[in-house]
Structure 1
């Protein structure tokens, strides 16, 4: 472009004017825009939209299971067979199928065993187990293949020809056998009590790994802290056990007349209509023939469950069994159940388990998303607390508040990750953290707050946030230090969601977005960005600064009041951000006449620096100013949160 002499003179004049104007500004504040920019690639595509919903071409594969298993209580083994009907809904052909063999974690040379510290941790496991597999085959329309390769806890099963995209089907079959571990990494195992053995059985069959649009095959090894990521499908399960044992399992019992006595069927029917707990097997019946439909040999229990990602079961001759109706809303009801040995009975212990289970499921069902399963069964076991669809394993010695907490937490997992199927192995905060968050509200609601909750006191985690060896929420669970994992997966993300609801967005905006996220991603596989995008789009708020600051990295919140001074007949309040995470500011002004005024400043005050002056227009005399008066922020330095008139 060619410039004339007059254009040059005009430009020089404008520059001189702008420079003179700039020179009148006392300071150019720091640009904090990097704290507010998007921190990851969050643009939508045909599979996952920018609004945080499944895209128009979203897909996921499915797996239906037919399982038969036999429990040998003399040798403590489970043997059986699995038939997996796998459907490839993806847009690409598949040369092979990856499966998980999670019982292979319990071997001497598994990666999980070899990466467990010598002194041990929660995820210790027996090393004399593992799968014995026979008759492995994969049958498609074109032929059958038996070629496979096992690497640690993964099996790669090759197909005779690539499985067609968008609807190709394969039937995978094999027989399996394993020894039930005593120490099952606090997820499963067996427990000896006075009247016999309690078997808590999970991760018990070869199952298909998830193939998705994000990483393809999800083949992260099963090491310990990282949990699970599963496809959805329908399950048909038959479990054969000694006749003197009671079996409970995810799903609906198909043959009650074959496995329950006439009296037990009558009690079951009573429980389905009762809000009070009804015994199915009474304490004085345990170990007696009256507790079982047969007195010798074996008996087969048949269960079915639809649109689920997993099933688990338990078996024992020691079980007291009780149940009560769950009122789920939308005209639905279900049956809360508990099985536990005499050692667990007691008015302050497992006698309340069904009451706790019922209350927990009913609260989440009515508050967030209708519970989709017929049963919710709490099993007393050696497991501290572990969740499966419709079944939870909780420690048999838990009682009072501890039993409520573990029961409520494990059944809360039916929403995260059983209904909303996130990847626990990579993102534990998307199930543990979300669940810990909703546990707070169910605990507040139960029995008018019978038991305490501390999630509404984010300051309780300040000590951790000041710990020099802390790790970020984004740390993989198998990498996180065991001490840190409780915070990175549970407490810190729960505190973050609490702040988001109660401090940043407000309950109405947050609840609209959170419930929409659950219903939108029910029975699907959301990624972290899907959650971020969905909350932002429904709430109508760019929260990049919050996701970046709280969920990624080790930054802290440190807001303060640096000065309050008279100014032209009013007051000038100066607030500072000495931390790494910007936050909206809530102030309470207390006047000398004991009246108060609340001030809310948006997070954008920090975009151009770490200091902000607010003009308080008032004719009253200020006595005191308090930052975050309701103490909702985990501010690591409370000493500068209050200003008092001298």
Structure 2
């Protein structure tokens, strides 16, 4: 027993020693290469970040017929799916996503979410606790093969497995048919979510945004196999590219917008709308209104008992969404991109005017141009923005918000919020609709990259645009959150506490810092475009992005990915100390002057200061006979011996040494402390006594040998009066007060009387337009 205890004690002592060594280690951690943190390169994905020579991905084609019931808010549909196995693996079963089941009575979503009773509870809060009994899940009526035989299937929440009678071999395809229906929910209610309907009580009409509405194939990939993680609400979608033929039957007075190109406009549009539609195809400077507000308002008053079928065709898309309402105003304009014309369009009810008529389609057109310039020419024929009081993206169509007040006025917050969300959701056509990352696993790969691109597009829309995400300093409040509220960016969507800052803002900020501070615009833009072009219409992973950015730029970024994407440390670099040095010129006058100054500084103590007035007269002052040679001797005066020694010193110097001696340079030794932990470049602005200033940039690699404290000497011809660290706020430093030498102190202000905070969800922005009106 004693031996066992002895071994345990020795083992514990060894572990404690090892931990102490790790804690004491001051270098080699943050600059380690990512190594095995990334997936190993293979024939499918290369070490350069490009698709490998044996890269493959699956394909799924759909033929769908669906009918909207505007009386009971439901849809019923049937589809034929042709699934192509392009993988090298035989497949015994197929996985199909049933996303609508996330809203089923027995959904796991409400069970996973914690809840509590508050002193004040709203109806919606209680409904979320009680959940609902609305029968909203998918009803699957049949699943059959191409011969009409039933396919054995198992539904597990939001996933359905189809068991094949024989393996689907590489290179083969499989056809199956599904019939289904579900009740559409009120997305304005406590259930919320991306799709659903909005009911307008004033005129008794509905506006439908149909997404996650049909059984669709899950992704089978080289890096994950089947992506069949359950859909529980936050983590979005991993989807397969394919072609779609969709027939949508709706009331005859409805307007439909959808993914793809309308195949039968002559059957569903009247002559006036057809004429305007043709005009819009050749109009590039401003939107053409195809169905006007007055025409839409007439349709609101009555409901047609007839039906029309809108047929849409889409090629090489990963999903299909659509919208339908008799309330829709419709406008469109053409955008020239890469030698072809793309139609930018908007659908919106009168409640969205005048904002949407003025801005929406123009913003769509601008977004396509901005994103295309930095990635690849937008490849699809249309891009649609739908006003639907939310924000969500699908191929060629997205749902956005932005309604003015009932009098038509609006605040700046509403205006810029609307423009930003349209840029963001239209931008999602590029990430992830085309550069098709797995949103369920890595939300940041589409939301973060797209938020970064949104920031660039916003700044091109209007100078000094009030962008909410992108600038480095705006992520600082999140990065200095308490540790238990933070997760790395490389975290699964469902496990993030502060979802918006983590998955949207922080990766967008990181990319902006890469572009502006670490790599520079030219290298970054080239590398980022290379990533987008390499993975267009493919399935990239984080490793593919990381490797491509380094491969195309010759910039080692492992330290950056490790710190920003795999860690939670903040940036807090401080100027710890500054020492000022000058070369000792040896000039006798300067030497003696320095000695005099040092002597007077040394002897300037309190007793001497007070004695100057308290002792009226000293003995020597009273009796001159008490004085001798030293009472009048100036030890700091320059004598002949001093001059002789100086000339001998000069003659011993080389020309280079003498030039350096006479340069008059000022040397500033600056000590820096890494308080936050996240290593970053050091950017300094030196302010000189003559009023000029200068920027110095030191790469992050200065921290390689000591990740906590470093010093750097700067030689300056001019005398420095102030030094500012990170003067342009480009590193996301969470404490800017320690970025100054000499220190700057600014008072924090407090309010004597604090007003009551506004209710949650209300707009806090002023509306000067309303006051003016």
Question: Is TM (by shorter chain) over 0.5?
Answer: yes
Corresponding residue for residue 37 of structure 1: 32
Corresponding residue for residue 731 of structure 2: 633
Q: Is the 8 A contact 2:299 2:326 kept in 1?
A: no
Q: Is the 8 A contact 2:392 2:399 kept in 1?
A: yes
Corresponding residue for residue 163 of structure 1: 168
Task: Identify which range, 617-626 or 59-68, moves more after superposition.
Answer: 617-626
- Rounded to whole Å, the distance in 2 between the matches of 1:337 and 1:113 is 37
Corresponding residue for residue 696 of structure 2: 599
Corresponding residue for residue 259 of structure 2: 250
What is the deviation of 1:560?
1.7
User: Which residue of the other structure, out of 383, 394, 401, is the alignment partner of 1:388?
Assistant: 394
Corresponding residue for residue 20 of structure 1: none
What is the deviation of 1:495?
0.7
Query: Deviation string for 1:102-122 (max 9, x for gaps)?
Result: 11111111112322444778x
Corresponding residue for residue 3 of structure 1: none
- Rounded to whole Å, the distance in 2 between the matches of 1:577 and 1:261 is 68
Corresponding residue for residue 446 of structure 2: 431
1:76-475 equivalences in 2 (<5 Å): 76-118=73-115, 127-139=134-146, 146-165=151-170, 167-183=171-187, 185-193=192-200, 194-195=202-203, 196-274=205-283, 275-288=285-298, 296-328=305-337, 330-346=338-354, 348-382=355-389, 384-395=390-401, 397=403, 399-449=414-464, 451-468=465-482, 469-475=485-491
Corresponding residue for residue 509 of structure 1: 523
Q: Is the 8 A contact 1:131 1:177 kept in 2?
A: yes
What is the deviation of 1:145?
5.4
Q: Is the 8 A contact 2:193 2:233 kept in 1?
A: no
Q: 1:644 to 1:396 in 2, by over 3 A?
A: closer
- Rounded to whole Å, the distance in 2 between the matches of 1:628 and 1:447 is 26
User: Which residue of the other structure, out of 536, 539, 545, is the alignment partner of 2:559?
Assistant: 545
Q: Is the 8 A contact 1:234 1:305 kept in 2?
A: yes
Structure with the larger helix share: 2
1:567 aligns with 2:665: no
User: Which residue of the other structure, out of 681, 685, 696, is the alignment partner of 1:584?
Assistant: 681
Q: Is the 8 A contact 2:264 2:311 kept in 1?
A: yes
- Rounded to whole Å, the distance in 2 between the matches of 1:539 and 1:51 is 11
Residue-pair matches, total: 607
Q: Is the 8 A contact 2:273 2:291 kept in 1?
A: yes
- Rounded to whole Å, the distance in 1 between the matches of 2:694 and 2:367 is 39
After TM superposition, what 4+ stretches of structure 1 lie above 4 angstroms from structure 2? 117-121, 123-127, 289-292
- Rounded to whole Å, the distance in 1 between the matches of 2:193 and 2:517 is 36
State which structure, 1 or 2, has the greater radius of gyration over its C-alpha atoms.
Answer: 2
Corresponding residue for residue 21 of structure 1: none
- Rounded to whole Å, the distance in 2 between the matches of 1:454 and 1:161 is 53
Q: 1:41 to 1:434 in 2, by over 3 A?
A: closer
What is the deviation of 1:169?
0.6
Corresponding residue for residue 503 of structure 2: 489
Corresponding residue for residue 12 of structure 1: none
- Rounded to whole Å, the distance in 2 between the matches of 1:642 and 1:345 is 49
Q: Is the 8 A contact 2:393 2:428 kept in 1?
A: yes
What is the deviation of 1:403?
1.1
Q: Is the 8 A contact 1:134 1:175 kept in 2?
A: yes
Corresponding residue for residue 607 of structure 2: none
What is the deviation of 1:291?
12
User: Which residue of the other structure, out of 583, 589, 612, is the alignment partner of 2:710?
Assistant: 612
- Rounded to whole Å, the distance in 2 between the matches of 1:187 and 1:645 is 50
- Rounded to whole Å, the distance in 1 between the matches of 2:73 and 2:420 is 31
Q: Is the 8 A contact 1:244 1:287 kept in 2?
A: no
Query: Deviation string for 1:577-612 (max 9, x for gaps)?
Result: 222211121112222122223222222211111222
Report the 3-state secondary structure (helix = DSSP H, G, I; strand = E; otherwise coil) of the residue aligned with 2:81: strand
Structure with the larger strand share: 1
- Rounded to whole Å, the distance in 2 between the matches of 1:423 and 1:273 is 37
What is the deviation of 1:30?
5.0
Report the 3-state secondary structure (helix = DSSP H, G, I; strand = E; otherwise coil) of the residue aligned with 2:672: strand
Task: Identify which range, 586-595 or 499-508, moves more after superposition.
Answer: 586-595
Q: Is the 8 A contact 2:342 2:382 kept in 1?
A: yes
Query: Deviation string for 1:206-249 (max 9, x for gaps)?
Result: 00100011120001101011111101011111101111111111
- Rounded to whole Å, the distance in 1 between the matches of 2:679 and 2:555 is 15
TM-score, length basis structure 2: 0.75
Report the 3-state secondary structure (helix = DSSP H, G, I; strand = E; otherwise coil) of the residue aligned with 2:379: coil
Structure 2 stretches lacking a partner, 5+ long: 1-23, 117-123, 405-413, 584-666, 745-773
Q: 1:645 to 1:147 in 2, by over 3 A?
A: closer
- Rounded to whole Å, the distance in 2 between the matches of 1:447 and 1:453 is 10
- Rounded to whole Å, the distance in 2 between the matches of 1:350 and 1:112 is 38
Q: Is the 8 A contact 1:94 1:164 kept in 2?
A: yes
Corresponding residue for residue 73 of structure 1: 70
Corresponding residue for residue 719 of structure 2: 621
Query: Deviation string for 1:437-484 (max 9, x for gaps)?
Result: 1111111111445x4114453222222211112332223222222xx0
What is the deviation of 1:201?
0.2
- Rounded to whole Å, the distance in 2 between the matches of 1:344 and 1:386 is 17
User: Which residue of the other structure, out of 545, 550, 570, is the alignment partner of 1:531?
Assistant: 545
- Rounded to whole Å, the distance in 2 between the matches of 1:366 and 1:132 is 44
Q: Is the 8 A contact 2:211 2:322 kept in 1?
A: yes
Q: 1:109 to 1:562 in 2, by over 3 A?
A: same
Q: Is the 8 A contact 1:624 1:643 kept in 2?
A: yes
Q: Is the 8 A contact 2:242 2:318 kept in 1?
A: yes
Task: Identify which range, 334-343 or 433-442, moves more after superposition.
Answer: 334-343
Q: Is the 8 A contact 2:300 2:326 kept in 1?
A: no
Structure 1 stretches lacking a partner, 5+ long: 1-28
Corresponding residue for residue 5 of structure 1: none
Q: Is the 8 A contact 1:559 1:578 kept in 2?
A: yes
**Superposed CA RMSD:** 2.3
Report the 3-state secondary structure (helix = DSSP H, G, I; strand = E; otherwise coil) of the residue aligned with 1:286: helix
- Rounded to whole Å, the distance in 2 between the matches of 1:259 and 1:456 is 43
What is the deviation of 1:153?
0.3
- Rounded to whole Å, the distance in 2 between the matches of 1:420 and 1:162 is 30
Q: Is the 8 A contact 1:322 1:338 kept in 2?
A: yes
Report the 3-state secondary structure (helix = DSSP H, G, I; strand = E; otherwise coil) of the residue aligned with 2:716: coil
TM-score, length basis structure 1: 0.90
What is the deviation of 1:48?
0.7
Q: Is the 8 A contact 2:394 2:433 kept in 1?
A: yes
Q: Is the 8 A contact 2:353 2:403 kept in 1?
A: no
Q: Is the 8 A contact 1:107 1:113 kept in 2?
A: no
What is the deviation of 1:161?
0.2
Q: Is the 8 A contact 1:42 1:50 kept in 2?
A: no
Query: Deviation string for 1:391-441 (max 9, x for gaps)?
Result: 111126264112101111111111110010001111111111111111111
- Rounded to whole Å, the distance in 2 between the matches of 1:349 and 1:298 is 28
